Structure formats: C-alpha cells, structure tokens
Structure 1
Amino acid sequence: MALWVKICGLRSAADVAAAVAAGADAVGFVFAPSVRRVTPAQARAACAALPAGVLRLAVMRHPEPAEWQAVASGFAPDWLQTDWQDYAGLASAADVGRLPVYRDDAPPSEGVALPSPMLFEGRDSGSGRPADWARAAELAARTRLVLAGGLDADTVAEAVRRVRPWGVDVSSGVEAAPGVKDPGRIRAFIAAARAAAVE
C-alpha cells in the first residue's frame, strides 16, 4: 500500500489544488490558534472542488464541544485530528473518523492498545520540530502511525526509512513563509516520501 500523505494548514482553494495535484491523500485545516487558522466557511470553500477520495481533516486542540460543533456543522470534515484525550468530551464526534495525536512529551504508555491510525509528532504542533524517530519507529511497528514534526522534502525520506510509518503529515515544511504553502515544495515532499516508502 502506498504511503498515506496529508498536507496540513491549508487556507485556500489554490492550496488544496496544489496538494491534490501533487498526490495528497488528505488535506488538513487548522481550527486552533495558529497563523494557519481558518474558519469553517473558509475551509468549506477551499474544498469546493476537492475530488472524491481525498479526505478532509479538521485539526483542533482541546476544543470545547461548541467549537467542535461549529466546525462539524460548518465544514463537515471526514476526520477530526486532535489530542487523544480530547475525544472523550466530544460525544458528537462519534460519527467522524479520528486521528488522535500523541506527542513526544506524552507518548502512549507501554503495553497500552494503540489507536489505528494515530499521529505522533514533536511537542508543539506546526512548530517544525521533529519527533523522536526511535520512539516513533517502535509505535509504527504496532499500528498505523502517521509521523509529523520537522518534516520537509530534505528530511522526509530518511524519516520514512527509519520509522516506516503508515503515513506522513506536513505543514510548515512545505511553506515559502509561515502559513504560505508552496506548490513546488508540496510536490517535492510527496515525491521524496513516496520514493523512500518503496525502497
């Protein structure tokens, strides 16, 4: 199976088109404090021409139920990506796919059943700081792990070789400036990631 790739922090239809043209499997929209933050209406408009089969993810962090409900009704994502402990307070999120987030500073406990898929990243989302690849590799051997944090076209191949993740997720690593996606960097990232996955 081909490596699953998500391009995150998109803000416009042009961003979405660039991700889709490069072969992304999923597009992510940030609804947490960030330079990449969008409204549900902006995310919905950006996805107006999204082809079938490309997943739309809402990326949140510790959302209140009302915040999630506004995103769910205004954007209607396919999946919700948020910290793993957040889902317990979001009963209305039961009908969407989940991509629970775990971080270096609070990895899953040893012996605990892991969600599938799950995302593992560095301490701060969107910071460009890499995750602990050795720990990520241990987790990737047990579940469908999506690796994030500090990835770009120059680092993703080595990350894929060392971690062997099910998928990869990138935001700042494909930007020309904070919040400004670069189509060329998106293409280079996906090409490098997929090439390494079949080595």
Structure 2
Amino acid sequence: MICVKICGLTTVEDARWAWRCGADLLGFILAPASPRYILPEAVGEIVRQLRMEGCTALYVGVFAGESPDRVMDIMDHCALDVAQLHGCKTPDEARRVSDAGYDVIVARRVAKKVPRDDLARYDAWAYLLDTDDGAREGGTGKSWRWALLRDLPTAERPERLIVAGGLTPDNVAEAVAQAAPWGVDVSSGVESAPGRKDPSRVQAFIEKVRTIENRRGDT
C-alpha cells in the first residue's frame, strides 16, 4: 500500500478529514518560518482530540534546523509519533531522536540528481525527497523530475522513500508511475489557502492514490 501523508495541517477539522479520507500520516509543521506553522500547544490539542476519537494515523512533527533536544522536547509535549527532519546535518542528530523512541524521516532536497550518497549516511525510518529551489527547506509547492529515481540502483534505494514537492490530485498518478515510491506527501496541492485544506482536494488526492493501488492489484 502507498503511504499517504497530508502535511501542513493547522486545524483539528482538517486533520480529522484527512484521517477519515484515509491518510496514513498527518503532518504538522513546527518550523516558525513556514506559513503553515502551528504552535506546539495547538498540535498537542489536535493529537489528543483525534486519539480520543480513535484516529489510527501516525502524527508527524516537521522540523527545520532544530537541535535534537528541542525536537525531542516538542515531540514529547505533543505526543507525536514521527519526527521529520529538514536540515539535519549529521547522522548523529537523527540517531539521537531515533534513540529517544521516535521514528525519523530524513528529508533531503533534489535538484539535478538524487543525493544518494547523502541518503546512505542515515539509518532512518523513512526518507523524504523534496524540491530544491535554492532557498526553502521544503514547502516550495514545486515538483522535481521524479524520473531521476530510475537512475538510482536498487541496492542504494531506501525501502521507504517518500516523494514530496508540487504534488496534486492531477499529477500524483504520474509521480507514482515514474518514481514508484513507498509514500507520497502533499501540502499546498490540496489547499484553499496556506494552512487550510480544501476537503474535496484532500479526498480526491487520496482517492487517486488508492485507485492506483487497485489497478496494480488487477494486473
């Protein structure tokens, strides 16, 4: 099954809808520079409410350049499951968070090629590839050449590889066909405004991914 992550959630209503539509991962951006930033206290309230409702999705905290200690403090405060680390400089930083009992997604940017040597340095729960626009760590809303993954030798390809960057209900099928990822990550592609999800686009995105899975099962 293709793992679907709906990211940039800022309200309990949007998070609940994403879960009910079938999202596997619910992402909350805890990087203050992002227009989708949400306070840790608000994340904690959303997580507590959804857990009470029986939500089975995993809760992901998205960080950019934070120290491992700060990441772990927020993860604990918000009762999150997975830490997505952008700007992680060394494997030791990721390992410290992992050793504290959290699953870790190491995020890396793609420009002209997949940073396979860099990926090989990390032992993470999953790896996320996003667009390198020369500025921001994620959240660009731009796609990259998914076909680049075809040049990645099977032995060097992480089992859990998440494609992010510029995905929408209209192009996710093409991304899956070209990259064959373990998961897909969407934020701005299902929004009505930064930080506010369009329910119909969230549903359409997840339904498109599940349709791809069903077609695979028929072949």
Q: How far apart, CA to CA, are the structure 2 residues paired with 1:68 and 1:116?
A: 16
Q: How far apart, CA to CA, are the structure 2 residues paired with 1:40 and 1:73?
A: 10
The CA deviation string for residues 115-144 of structure 1, in whole angstroms up to 9 with x for no partner, is 552111111411111122022344595222
Say whether residues 1:109 and 2:117 are aligned partners: yes
Match of 2:180 in 1: 164
With over 3 angstroms needed to count, the CA separation of the structure-2 counterparts of 1:52 and 1:140, relative to structure 1, is farther
Q: Which runs of 5+ in 2 are unaligned?
A: none
With over 3 angstroms needed to count, the CA separation of the structure-2 counterparts of 1:182 and 1:97, relative to structure 1, is same
Following superposition of structure 1 onto structure 2, how do residues 64-75 of structure 1 map, counting pairs within 5 Å? Answer: 64-75=67-78
Q: Which amino acid aligns with 2:192?
A: A
The CA deviation string for residues 125-177 of structure 1, in whole angstroms up to 9 with x for no partner, is 11111122022344595222110000010010111111111110000001011
TM value normalised by structure 2: 0.81
Q: CA deviation at 1:66?
A: 4.5
Q: Is the 8 A contact 1:153 1:192 kept in 2?
A: yes
Q: CA deviation at 1:194?
A: 2.1
Match of 2:39 in 1: 39
Q: How far apart, CA to CA, are the structure 2 residues paired with 1:72 and 1:179?
A: 20
Match of 1:122 in 2: 131
Q: How many residue pairs were aligned?
A: 198
Secondary structure of the structure 2 residue equivalent to 1:184: helix
With over 3 angstroms needed to count, the CA separation of the structure-2 counterparts of 1:178 and 1:159, relative to structure 1, is same
Q: CA deviation at 1:97?
A: 0.1
Q: How far apart, CA to CA, are the structure 1 residues paired with 2:70 and 2:64?
A: 10
Match of 1:131 in 2: 144
TM value normalised by structure 1: 0.89
Say whether residues 1:195 and 2:201 are aligned partners: no
With over 3 angstroms needed to count, the CA separation of the structure-2 counterparts of 1:185 and 1:37, relative to structure 1, is same
With over 3 angstroms needed to count, the CA separation of the structure-2 counterparts of 1:15 and 1:52, relative to structure 1, is closer
Say whether residues 1:19 and 2:28 are aligned partners: no
Q: Is the 8 A contact 1:27 1:55 kept in 2?
A: yes
Q: How far apart, CA to CA, are the structure 2 residues paired with 1:37 and 1:12?
A: 11
Secondary structure of the structure 2 residue equivalent to 1:187: helix
Q: Between Structure 1 and Structure 2, whose CA radius of gyration is higher? A: 2
Q: How far apart, CA to CA, are the structure 1 residues paired with 2:66 and 2:117?
A: 24
Q: How far apart, CA to CA, are the structure 1 residues paired with 2:119 and 2:206?
A: 33
With over 3 angstroms needed to count, the CA separation of the structure-2 counterparts of 1:111 and 1:42, relative to structure 1, is closer
Q: How far apart, CA to CA, are the structure 2 residues paired with 1:111 and 1:96?
A: 19
> Which residue of 182, 195, 206 corresponds with 1:179?
195
